[in-house]
Structures are given as structure tokens and as C-alpha cells.
Amino acid sequence: MLSEQMQREALSKCIVWFYDGNVRTFYSLDKTHKRAKPNQALGIRRLEKMLMETFKGQWETAIVYENEPRGNELARFKRGARV
Amino acid sequence: MEKQNDKKVHFSFGEVFQNTKSFIDKYNNRQTQLTQKLNANHRATAELIIRLYLKQLNKAAQIGDLNTNSLPGFSTFNESLAKCKGCTKRTIINHKERLKQSGFITQDEHRGKGGVEIWLNREVLGTAKLSTNYGDNVLKIGDATSIFYEKAKNFHPLVHEHQEQLNNNSSVNKSGVPYGHESGKATRTKHEQDKNTEENANPASKRQEKAPERHCKAEKQEQKPGAGRIFLLSLIRQFWDYARKVLYPDLVLSEPEDREILNLIWESVYGKLQSNATEKDWLKYQDTAFNRVNMVARWLARSPGHWIPKPHIYFHPNNERNGFKKTWQWYVKQETLKIEIRNQLLLQQVKAEWQQHEQNKGRFRKKTRLQLFRIQQKRLAGYRDESLNQAYQQCLQRSLHLQNLKRKQQAYAQ
């Protein structure tokens, strides 16, 4: 679980609907090190890796949004594949 | 160079020394790191080997027939070479290793007490096939390609140069960054640059300060003789669209990922657009880039075991292992080969024309030798290839030399 500050600073977030009925939100880690320039693409890639490897076979849908109120959708995953 | 006089081979020291020099110079030009280049000491060893080898060869030629197609190697001892050069045996062994690495020595054989036998590159001895592969092939491909010269390490200047400290956090003068970074969108800290500068909070003061900077930037853009920025950025987009279609047809990417890859391509494929090439040159370079993508696609199709990494790794400027950068070497090799084959064909044609002219045959039979020379010279000049001209001159000298020899032989027989 990320700290609240890190959640606020994240550039993207991922909402995951699991097969067991759970819905969880994950926030991206966009820096390679503490003082690095944030890289949104890196954060999205890491979220994708989490979905495809850590939670492989456990989720039905996952959507990555910009971490802003009314943020745009960035990527959508369905049953283990990016669509 | 060998000279056939009464069927006896003779190697001229001067020419072979010149070949040696140009061979080593050419090798050094190809190397980017100073440590990989051959230094004066290696040169001295090479020249020593050449001197002794030619002595052996010329002596052997006097005694019996020497076949230029299969010359014997240079038989020697490491100790005697070391004594001649005034260094240790180990140094000679090390130098031989380096010369072997450079291709100067093609083969060496150790025979224990019998010493060593060394075979040298035929190009150095002048017995190789006429090659038109002089100079820099990268330059022949196009002007914009100069961005692909791997830069040697930046040495500190001998004299201290006073430089203004660059503020890396400032967005000013970062006119090179094409996507995202300029607007500060990626960092989402649009005003961060001004936070630590102890500036007046009043925006008017900022405006006064920033105005001349903008002016400078505009001036710089006006002075830049190369192609327009929008045009160049559109080239990058075109390239990525094409590469994506060909290499990653099933890939789905979000906008930030797309932007990141465009930035990587801007850096790794287009050298941050730092070259001052014209639009025409850039278009030519764009074609080469498309060609390289096609080469990769063909390579992928050739075997199911071939693969390329994801685009953010593949186009990363620091990826020396399996990045797109490597295809540049493929491309240069392919183009060099094409040029070489074209030149060889042209030289063959020239040779055939001279032979036909000598026998009063062919379409140039009514021309004088000078006229034929002029015609050929004009034709070859059209290719604007200095190495081709040099090879033509060599070819001409050889064919004239052969003619003279034939005449002498005929006169001798009569």
C-alpha cells in the first residue's frame, strides 16, 4: 500500500475488477529513483506488469486512468489482454 | 606491388609501405576508442615485419618462381623480431595480437622451435583484387547520416574554458525536446522551474525577464540553416507510424507511452535533430531509416527464433545490445557492398572496352586511346565516387602495364 502522498503524486491509477468480486485501485510508481523525473509511461508499464504477472488470472477487467479528478482513460485490459 | 618482369615477381618496398600506412590509417579511422587504435609502436612492428617479409619474398622470387596467388608466409622468430626492434619478446607477441585483431595479419602459425609463420593481408601486399572501398562509406550514403558517427570520448580542453553554468531544470533553450517535456506535462509541475530562483512573485517581472530569452530563441531558429522543426518532427512521427505498422502490428499503446517512444526515436534514430542537414538530406535519411526497418522485418520473418524487444527498449539510445541502433551497421554494410559491386562491374566494363579497343573491336574501335579515356572518365565521374576514380586509374595503369609487357615479350620473341 502506497502512502497517501505517493498516491497523490502518482500520475496514473489502475482500477481492477477481480473475479472474486473485489475491486481495488492501484497507483503507479513513476520514478526510477527518489529524485528522478516522473515518467508516466514507466508507471503504466509497471501497472501492466503487475496485472500480467502478479495478478495473472485473477482479474477480469482493469482500466488505467490519469490520476486526476475526471482523468482520461489511458489503457484498458480485459481477461489478460490489452484492448 | 608485384611487378612481373620476365615472369619474376618483385615487391616494391615503397608501395607496400604506403599500403601498410593506408591500411593502418583506415583501421584507426574506423575505431572510436583511442585504446582500440593502433599506435606508432604497432606501426613500427608492422613496418618491421613488412620489411623483413619483403626481403624474404624478393629473395625467394630470385631463386624460384613465386605464385602471387599463394604466397608463402613470413617465417621468423619472436626473439629475432624483438632483437631487431629492441624490445621484449612479449611486446612482439602483444603487437602481433593487435595486428591480427586489425586484420593486418590474417593468420599465424606457431611451430615451437621452428619459429612462427605469419601471413599478411593481401591488400597490404597489393596482390588483392582491385578494391574501390576507400574512404568513408557513411559519407557516400548521405549528409544526415553523419549523426551516426560514434563520438569519441569528450576530452577536457587543455585550456580552461569559461562556460556559463547550464540550468538543467530550466525549460529555456530546450528547443530540442519535441514531445511532452516542453509543456511540463510529464512532470505536472508547470511552475516548478521558477520556484527555486528567488524571483519576484509578481508575474510582470517574469515577463520582463523571459522576453529577451524568447527573442534569443527566435534568433537562434532563424540562424539555423537546416530544415524546419515541424517538418523534422513530422518525419519522426512518420517513422514511428511505419515502424509500428511493420514491427509491432498488434501493439496497443497509450498516449504517454507513445510520446515516450517518440522521444526515444528522436534521440536514438535522429540524433536529437542536431545535424544541420537540409530537408532533402533528411528525406534521404528518412528513406534509409525506412530501409532499416524493412531489414529488421525481413530478419524477423527469416526465423521464428528472431525477436526484438518492446519499443521503449528497442529504440532506447543506450541500448547497445539489441537496439535499433545496431541496424545502422547492417545498413552501412549492405550499402557498401552495393557500391562495391557496382564499382566492380563498372571497372570490368572499362577493362573489356580497353581490350576490345586494342583488338579493333567494339563500339569505340574508331576512337583514339585518349578519346576512349575521356569517354570513360566522363562516365565514371557521373557517379561522383572518388574511390571509383582511384580504382579506375589503378586499373588503367595495370592494363597499360600489361600491354607494355606483352609488346616487350613479342619483341623479345622476334
B6-55 confidence digits (pLDDT tens) = 456 778 888 888 888 888 988 888 887 888 889 999 999 999 999 999 88
At position B23, the amino acid (one-letter code) is: F
Q: Is B72 on the interface with A (CB under 8 A)?
A: no
Percentage of the residues of chain B whose pLDDT score is greater than 70: 73
Are A75 and B254 within 8 A, CB to CB? Answer: yes
Q: Which of residues 309-328 of B touch A (CB under 8 A)?
A: 312
Q: How far is A83 from chain B (nearest CA, A)?
A: 7
Average pLDDT over residues B79-85: 90
B254/A37 CB distance under 8 A: no
**Which chain B residues are within 8 Å of A83, Cβ to Cβ?**
252
Residue B341 has pLDDT above 60, yes or no: yes
Residue B407 has pLDDT above 50, yes or no: yes
- At B115-164, the pLDDT tens digits run 899 988 888 887 655 555 544 555 556 555 655 555 545 555 555 555 55
Are the Cβ atoms of A75 and B255 closer than 8 angstroms? no
Q: Which runs of E-coded beta strand occur in chain A?
A: 12-18, 23-27, 59-66, 73-78, 81-82
User: How confident is residue B359, by pLDDT bands cut at 50, 70 and 90?
Assistant: confident
Q: Is the pLDDT of residue B105 over 50?
A: yes
A75/B252 touch (CB, cutoff 8 Å), yes or no: yes
Q: Give the three-state DSSP class for B324.
A: helix
Report whether pLDDT(B198) > 60: no
Residue B1 CA neighbour count, 13 Å, CB half: 11
Per-residue pLDDT reduced to its tens digit, B273-307: 888 888 899 999 999 999 999 999 999 999 999 99
The pLDDT of residue A47 is: 97
Instruction: Specify the number of domains making up chain A.
Output: 1
B238's CB contacts (< 8 A; 6+ apart) are B286
- Nearest chain A residue to B310, by CA: A45
Distance of CA B375 to the CA centre of its chain: 31
Q: Measured between CB atoms, which of A11, A41, A82 is closest to B312?
A: A41
Q: How far apart are CA B72 and CA B60, in angstroms?
A: 10
> Stretch B186-195: mean pLDDT, rounded?
46
CB proximity under 8 Å: B 357-386 to A: none
pLDDT grade, residue B197 (50/70/90)? very low
pLDDT at B181: 45
Q: Which cell is B45 given? A: 612492428
What confidence score (pLDDT) does residue B393 get?
Answer: 85
How do strand B116-120 and strand B74-76 relate by DSSP bridges? antiparallel
pLDDT above 80 for B57: yes
Interface contact B256-A37, CB threshold 8 A: no
The Cα–Cα gap between B99 and B94 comes to: 9
Contact A74 B254 (CB under 8 A): yes
Contact (CB<8Å) B260/A41? yes
Residues of A in contact with B316 (CB under 8 A): none
Reference B12, options B43, B57, B48; nearest CA is: B57
What pLDDT score does B193 carry? 46
- Share of residues in chain A with pLDDT > 90 (%): 98
Q: How far is A73 from chain B (nearest CA, A)?
A: 9
Cell 519535441 belongs to residue:
B178
* Residue B180 scores a pLDDT above 50: no
- The predicted pLDDT at position B132 comes to 54
Q: What is the pLDDT of residue B145?
A: 60
Q: Give me the pLDDT at residue B161, please.
A: 52
Residue B13: its pLDDT value, please?
Answer: 84
Q: Is B177 on the interface with A (CB under 8 A)?
A: no
From residue A36, alpha-carbon distances to A31, A33, A46, B177, B392 in Å are 6, 5, 16, 18, 58
Is residue B307 exposed (0-12), middle (13-18) or buried (19+ Cβ within 10 Å)?
exposed
pLDDT, residue B213, reads 42
How many CA atoms lie within 13 Å of B362's alpha carbon, on the beta-carbon side?
17
Q: Please say if the pLDDT value at position A60 is more than 90.
A: yes
Q: Which three cell numbers, joined as nine digits, stand for B362?
A: 567494339
- For B168, nearest residue in chain A (alpha carbons): A37
- Judging contacts by C-beta atoms under 8 Å, the chain A residues touching residue B315 are none
Residue A72 is part of which domain span? 4-82
Mean pLDDT computed over A35-52: 96
- CA-based nearest distance A18→chain B, Å: 22
Closest approach of A60 to chain B, Cα-based (Å): 18
> How far is residue B223's CA from residue B231's CA, in Å, rounded to a whole number?
17
Lowest mean pLDDT among B70-74, B127-131, B192-196, B322-326: B192-196
Domains annotated on chain B, with CATH: 13-128 (1.10.10.10), 331-413 (no CATH)
CA distance A62 to A59: 7
Better-scored residue on pLDDT, B175 or B320: B320
Chain B, nearest residue to A46 by Cα: B257
Q: What percent of chain B has pLDDT over 90?
A: 32
Asked if residue B314 has pLDDT above 60, the reply is yes
Q: Do B261 and B312 touch, CB atoms closer than 8 A?
A: yes
Q: A58: distance to nearest CA of chain B, Å?
A: 22
Nearest Cα to Cα of residue B125 among B213, B18, B33: B18
Q: Which of A13, A8, A6 is nearest to A28 (CA)?
A: A13
Would you place residue B56 in the very low, low, confident or very high pLDDT band (cuts 50, 70, 90)? Answer: confident
Nearest CA among A10, A56, A15 for reference residue A30: A10
pLDDT band at B251 (very low <50, low <70, confident <90, very high): very high
C-alpha B347/C-alpha B350 separation (Å) is 5
B188 has pLDDT over 50: no
Average pLDDT, chain B: 78
At residue B303, the pLDDT reads: 93
Look at phi and psi of residue A75 and say left if phi exceeds 0, alpha if psi is from -120 to 50, else beta. Answer: beta
* Strand boundaries in B168-226, DSSP class E: none
Residue B125: per-residue pLDDT? 81
Taking an 8 Å cut-off on Cβ atoms, the answer to whether A41 and B187 are in contact is no
B15–A contact, CB cutoff 8 A: no
Instruction: Find the helix or strand (DSSP H, E) in which B237 lies.
Output: helix B229-247
User: Mean pLDDT across the stretch B203-230?
Assistant: 49
State residue B10's pLDDT score: 76
Residues of A in contact with B255 (CB under 8 A): 74
**Residues in chain A closer than 8 A to B187 (CB atoms):** 37-38
Q: What is the pLDDT of residues B258-279, one digit of tens each?
A: 999 999 999 999 999 888 888 8
